[in-house]
Amino acid sequence: MPILRISRFPLAGFQTILPAVAITITAIITALVATTPAVACTNFIASPKATVDGSVIVTYTCDGEFHPILRNYPAADYGPDDWYEINYWSGGEPNKIKQPAHTYAVVNLMNEHQLTIGETTTGGREELINPDGMIHYWHLMKLALQRAATAREAIRVMGELVAEHGYRSSGESFAIGDPEEAWIMEMVGPGPGGKGAHWVALRVPDGYVSAYANLGRIGTFPLDKPNECLYSQGMIEFATEKGWYDPDSGKPFSWREAFHPATPQKMRYTATRVWSLFRRCAPSLELPDDYHRGVEGAEPYPLWIKPDEKLSLADVFDLMRDHYEGTPFDMTQGVDAGPYGTPNRWRPMGWEIDGAQYTWERPISTQQTGFSMVSQSRRWLPDPVGGVTWYGLDDTYFTCWTPLYCGIDAIPVSYATGSLGKFSWDSAWWVFNFVSNLANLKYSHMIQDIQAVQNKLEGDLIALQPAVDKTAAELAKSDPELMIRYLTDYSVYSAEEIVDRWRELGENLLTKYNDGYVKDENGRAQEDGYSERWLRNVLEQRPEQFRLPDNGGVEEPEDY
């Protein structure tokens, strides 16, 4: 069992390691939870020259109905008879593949070399799913992180693994970053009984950002520039045989057109998120909304763009919190947002009325998010210090991201505790869900209280990061073991402090907004009621139901 030493230091002005109290946690590394795969995720990538500090940033919202369990996997050495067992969420007989001589340490989705991988399920053509393949995308990500030190090496490892053992998932996009560069890799299967997988990977040009969400984004690509593009052999011939590409057409091969045909609902569900990220990064481009609205003949959004200004870490946090506010698709507006402007829409996404088909908007921030991350890979710092995963639970709009340095050797207990089927104050995921679900009762009010706490905590952590980096980098030269303890103490304490503050926030919200009242600064309940906008909506539906007689009103009952 790992020994977890927690130093009780403040979140600001921290410079030195304070005396630690040792506690033990059991089975964190091996803890498992029954989950379903995420099928609706959003990724954003920023290359070094697109960020203020020169870091590579990869974001990932892992969206789906599941309770995440934060894990760390230590580095390990293996013999010739050691195997990695692959188990499947859907059941069935497990498979196994041979272990390499050495695997790297991994915290969540970043390894000890600052390599990080995110994903989004693109689906693609259903007939390309191969139930006989061995490796699902989530196995592929973990195996690549344990076996690769760079983004290029991860692409090679992933390609070799599916070539040898087969690919089991539907279409998938991967965001792969290391301290030097970032890549986009997209993959589809060969269909039942087929071999390997078809894939292509492109390097994001330095100074640019990319985004994608549940739809294949790569179009045409160069076949003769291995520094910029890597791909599996035979994909064009395969697409030609299937009738998805005509080489005699005079058009270059397009990965997206061959393997990812999209319906108007699919476009709205996916491309709107890409459009919103890009419009906020580069307002000067004035990207139209015609493509994500499914207008025939509209041009797809570029795979990457150059932001109008370099992005800070806080900027990226803000980008990943989005309901299309301030646009015609603003989910906090309209009768569908309810009396208090909640941006949440309950599933299913689509519905039918009188034979017509409709669909809700699908934002970047969604109540379905299990966990999210904003990773930093920074080449000017030692690997254990340079790699940081800012980890959050539940909806990105309501979460508070906390730093997990890739050099840590233990993780916060509350982030590795709990299950979907039972509420627990000991589970960080349930604590965040309590606050975000509570906020639906009076969203326009409560979100201000939530953001005040969120901004303070995240702002303090971002402001403190340079001091933590400097101290850890100095320790790396003199006492590497003490550096690991220092980073572990800091990461674990910060995470648990946030959860403690979030429990307090939930209790305060329930008290302040109890029974529909709003308590003022003196604790007195105030009648807040509804906005005039909402009341007018009510009267449009029931114009006479609530009208009082013209000869006067009525007095409130004395026992009111």
Residue 71 has pLDDT above 90, yes or no: yes
Within a domain: 11: no
- pLDDT the model gives residue 555: 59
Residue 539 has pLDDT above 50, yes or no: yes
Model pLDDT for residues 192-207, shown as the tens digit of each residue: 999 999 999 999 999 9
In which residue are the tokens 């990724």 written? 43
Biggest alpha carbon–alpha carbon distance for the chain:
93
Q: How far apart are CA 373 and CA 371, in angstroms?
A: 7
- pLDDT the model gives residue 264: 85
Residue 306 structural domain? 39-322+363-380
CB atoms within 10 A of CB 90: 8
DSSP code string of 398-412: T---EEEETT-S---
State the pLDDT confidence band at 384, using cuts at 50, 70 and 90. Answer: very high
- pLDDT the model gives residue 263: 84
Q: What is the mean pLDDT of residues 339-351?
A: 95
Q: How far apart are CA 398 and CA 448, in angstroms?
A: 11
Model pLDDT for residues 312-332, shown as the tens digit of each residue: 999 999 999 999 999 999 999
- pLDDT the model gives residue 100: 98
- pLDDT the model gives residue 17: 36
Using the Cα atoms of residue 492, residue 494, residue 495 and residue 496 in order, give the sign of their dihedral.
positive
- pLDDT the model gives residue 31: 33
Domain count, the chain: 1
State the pLDDT confidence band at 550, using cuts at 50, 70 and 90. Answer: confident
Within a domain: 141: yes
Model pLDDT for residues 74-93, shown as the tens digit of each residue: 999 999 999 999 998 878 88
Residue 33 has pLDDT above 50, yes or no: no
Model pLDDT for residues 404-414, shown as the tens digit of each residue: 999 999 999 99
Q: What percent of the chain has pLDDT over 90?
A: 88
Within a domain: 164: yes
Q: What is the mean pLDDT of residues 90-116?
A: 95
Q: How far apart are CA 100 and CA 97, in angstroms?
A: 9
Q: What is the mean pLDDT of residues 392-409?
A: 98
Q: What is the mean pLDDT of residues 335-354?
A: 95
Q: What is the mean pLDDT of residues 471-477?
A: 98
Q: How far apart are CA 453 and CA 430, in angstroms?
A: 18
- pLDDT the model gives residue 91: 80
Q: How far apart are CA 537 and CA 515, in angstroms?
A: 23
Q: What percent of the chain has pLDDT over 70?
A: 91
Query: How many residues are present in the chain?
Result: 560
Within a domain: 16: no
Residue 552 has pLDDT above 70, yes or no: no
Within a domain: 51: yes
Q: What value does the mean pLDDT of the chain take? A: 91
Within a domain: 507: no
Instruction: Check: CB of residue 490 under 8 Å from CB of residue 482.
Output: no
CB atoms within 10 A of CB 423: 13
State the pLDDT confidence band at 551, using cuts at 50, 70 and 90. Answer: low
Model pLDDT for residues 448-470, shown as the tens digit of each residue: 999 999 999 999 999 999 999 99
Residue 34 has pLDDT above 60, yes or no: no
Residue 26 has pLDDT above 60, yes or no: no
Within a domain: 172: yes
Supply the CATH number for residue 145's domain: 3.60.60
Q: What is the mean pLDDT of residues 145-171?
A: 98
In which residue are the tokens 């397009």 written? 254
**3-class SS string, 491-537:** HHHHHHHHHHHHHHHHHHHHHHCHHHCEECCCCCEECCCCCHHHHHH
- pLDDT the model gives residue 92: 82
Residue 337 has pLDDT above 90, yes or no: yes
Within a domain: 310: yes
